[in-house]
Structure 1
Amino acid sequence: MPGRHTPPSWSIWSGAAPSTSYRDATPTPLATWLLDHPEVEIICRDRAGAYAEGARTGAPQAVQAADAWHLWKSVGEAVEKTVAAHYTCVRAVFEKPPVPEPTTVPTGDDGPLAASIGTLDVCGRERRLVVRTRERFALVQDLLHEGASLESICHQLQLDRSTVRRFARATSIDELLVKTINRSTILDAHRPHLHQRWNEGCHDTAQLHREIAALGFTGGIRAVRRYLRNFTPSAPTPAPRSAPRPRRVVRWIMTNPGNLLDEDALSLKEIRVGCPELNAVTDHARDFAEMMRDLRGDQLPQWMERVEQDPLPALHSLVDGLRRDQDAVVAGLSSPWCSGQVEGRNTRVKLLKRAGYGCANFDLLRKRILHRT
């Protein structure tokens, strides 16, 4: 990150790698080590509560600065949740169905559009997987509001704990449906050819199946017949555009506008026009990036107030977390200290470990780490 410094001898870097769980972290080891090193003046750390408490106990004289890398990572996670919650808007921008969907579909919280994009089968009914997801989400949320624990919900609904946790943490049903409605099929690559040949006047399903089979399609004729069922012979059908994956949209939002390709910038502009929430989250992410780049931590309170004015639950949760550790966050955004080198070395060690997984012992791993240039 521009403007970030390497750690001097009188500062320490505390924190775990991004994929490490903080569940078992305790403040005692850090506090004990700091008591033996009173020369520490700056502590750059992530926002785990155990490290904050350990730093306060062991080095009350030190300035705590939240690591900018972890702050930007937290912003990215909030953006990703927001994109998932509003992914139906992205699909509405890029994918135009050949004919309007039936008007008697369940509307849900976001209106008919959310139910009509990718959630219906060829007969206009909600897909079974979508119905099951809606039912489970409603059951889990109702039990949580009644005060039930995750363990008791697992037993009552006969679901795996990870599944219940995913339904409990979701801020909306669309966040859960994004993977369901965005699954690719073997027919996707051949959809433009089908649309082109249909508009040229070829309406013979068997002939169209033979053509795409020659192009590499491995499915049966029934898949082609189901896809063409809603096409109208007398009306041309525009070729569909494939909606970008959620992670790709997140990357567009989190990238400096000056570094975006022209076509990516145009696609993001279309998304922002079609979805006010994604337009707002893009502005907030870019404002945070400028604040972090220019070391203007004093602007954090105003940024949090602007975020709270928009209906963005994921960013509201982020703001709540920042407020609990606001002094360290402001210090991290105002100073050049960063744990980038530590995170880089952690990543290198993990790569070496995974490369020898199952084929090497600890002694060999230690030698590979020490001798790796």
Structure 2
Amino acid sequence: MAPLKNGGCPLSTPDAIRWHNDQLQLLDQRRLPAHCDYLSYDDAESVATAIRDMVVRGAPAIGITAAYGMALAARRCTSQPSVAAWTQALDTPRRALADSRPTAVNLFWALQRCDSIIEQYGNGGDVAGALLELAKALHAEDIHINRRIGDHGASLIPENSIVYTHCNAGALATGGYGTALGVIRSAWRDGRLRGVIAGETRPWMQGARLTSWELMQDNIPVTLAIEGAAAQLMRELRPSWVIVGADRVAANGDAANKIGTYNLAIIARHHGVKVMVAAPTSTFDRNIDGPQIPIEQRPAEEITHSYGQRVAPEGCQVSNPAFDVTPAALIDAIVTEHGVIYQPDRERVLAHLNAAEDAQ
């Protein structure tokens, strides 16, 4: 591991996911940045719990983690004689992984890739080995995809810009490099940025704990701001773009992302600030429009308590959606590994996805 600083964390952003000693190891993102601890997993049900409990988070990272979870599940099975038998044997761990978080479509995309491996190798092949190779391939592929997203997005940013980002869509939320932070990293490399504003992102504080820390590791100037300061800062500092990731992009161009993104898009439109969504094509869902995207409701205790201490009155009614959906009309560009969708709508989104499939 890299040299350490800041309470046990390395000088460079560590891997969120790694395969080591025949186990899946996940960086416990709940304890960052003060503690850099890896937790080890050897069964899919524990991996599903880790996803649900936010040990690992971010749509691409969740998908990669689920693929490793399926590999672990297959390794714990006795050899099965057929595709049908493998499917039945892996049904319980697969459902546990699928139920871990409902909004991030990369989770289901990865599980479908695992289903294809079972179909291919289930009649006498090495299913467990093939699933592990798939997980490793998805992991490596995601890093390459993120760098392409970063380069496409950076080309849209004017020189000497300030940009605003929300939540954490960086190396910690992906296989490495990041989607929204990938754009920011590439723009910084190209000399286009002079600074980043990062919203704190309640209640899990991903902006405060993760994004500000990631950017500081790369020596990219970052200013941490409370959520309620967004309008004032946009009026004052005039960022060129709000840049965010996504957990699901619908066929009509609506995008689900961490709660508070919709607010930012409305504020940005009022102040003439453009909105960019950075996401791989695996995050797109051709089958639904924005209003049909399932929105995860998180436990009430996440906002009624702070560090285990109650801060809200006993019996207080709570709404704690993890995500919101930003309408396509408020998004100026969606950036994928295949390029840019300007002014996204159904026709442009589907044309982009079709061209991406044709190119593969």
What's the TM-score, normalizing by structure 1? Answer: 0.24
Query: Higher strand fraction: Structure 1 or Structure 2?
Result: 2
**Greater radius of gyration (CA):** 1
What's the TM-score, normalizing by structure 2? Answer: 0.25
Structure number with the bigger relative contact order (C-alpha 8 A, sep ≥ 6) is 1
Query: Higher helix fraction: Structure 1 or Structure 2?
Result: 1
